[in-house]
Amino acid sequence: MRPASSLAAALCILGLAVPALADTRVINGTLDASDPTMPVVAITAPNCTAQGVFPVHFDAYPFFVTEDGTYDFEMTSTGSTPGFASLYLMDETFDPAAAFPSCLAGDNGVDPVGFSLALTANTRYFVVPFDDQFDQPGGSYTLTIEGPGVIVVENIGLTPTIPTLSQWGLGLLAGLLALWGAATVRHRRAA
């Protein structure tokens, strides 16, 4: 085998060893009286069922993903009432004044709340933590989003995960480069 074709074969094999790009985003926030309000959307997890009228404080994070696939959303919250916060996922038409038509999923169960949903690459979504208590006590929350592609959350300065090789992949790369080097030396001696 010629050295150039050996290198090409090595790079093709190495491509099989590169792990799939997956991402995790963690968003920490607080909900309190300074946040905007929206009429609550009723939930029978994970389905959004109706538009309510009771105003709830919320945060909205616009985001998109770079790969089609199933993404997992999980949130925990602490405050004067532990587990006070619940979670919505809205499509790109999200309007806080009338959110029910754009609600794709929600959970208002026991802490942690969350759901999994298939998302389409390069489509804008909104993940919306909200205070789900009648007295709106507020508190802090930690929201985690995980999935097969890069998760780009707008306006909070998160950088995408850079893929790296595993130890097995690095070992394979070193072995392939050694084989290529040996083939090159052999080819030069023969010439």
- Asked which of 10-19, 30-39, 57-66, 180-189 is least confident by mean pLDDT, the reply is 10-19
Q: What is the pLDDT of residue 158?
A: 45
pLDDT tens readout for residues 58-100: 999 999 999 999 999 999 999 878 889 999 999 999 999 999 9
Give me 184's structure tokens.
Answer: 């090159």
The pLDDT confidence band at residue 162, using thresholds 50, 70 and 90, is very low
Q: What is the rounded CA–CA span in Å between residue 153 and residue 141?
A: 16
Torsion of CA 104, 108, 109, 110, to 10 degrees: 130
Helix (H) or strand (E) holding 159: none
Q: What is the pLDDT of residue 68?
A: 97
Q: What is the pLDDT of residue 99?
A: 95
pLDDT tens readout for residues 147-159: 999 999 987 654 4
- Mean of the per-residue pLDDT values for the chain? 83
The pLDDT confidence band at residue 17, using thresholds 50, 70 and 90, is very low
Q: What is the rounded CA–CA span in Å between residue 191 and residue 86?
A: 72
Q: What is the rounded CA–CA span in Å between residue 166 and residue 174?
A: 12
Q: What are φ and ψ of residue 59, in 5° steps?
A: -120, 150
Single out the residue of 76, 58, 88, 55 nearest to residue 140, CA to CA: 76
Q: Note whether 145 and 25 are within 8 A (CB).
A: yes
- The CA-based angle 59-57-29, given to 5 degrees, is 40
Q: What is the pLDDT of residue 155?
A: 73
According to DSSP, the β-strands at 151-153 and 139-147 are unpaired
Give me 87's structure tokens.
Answer: 């979670």
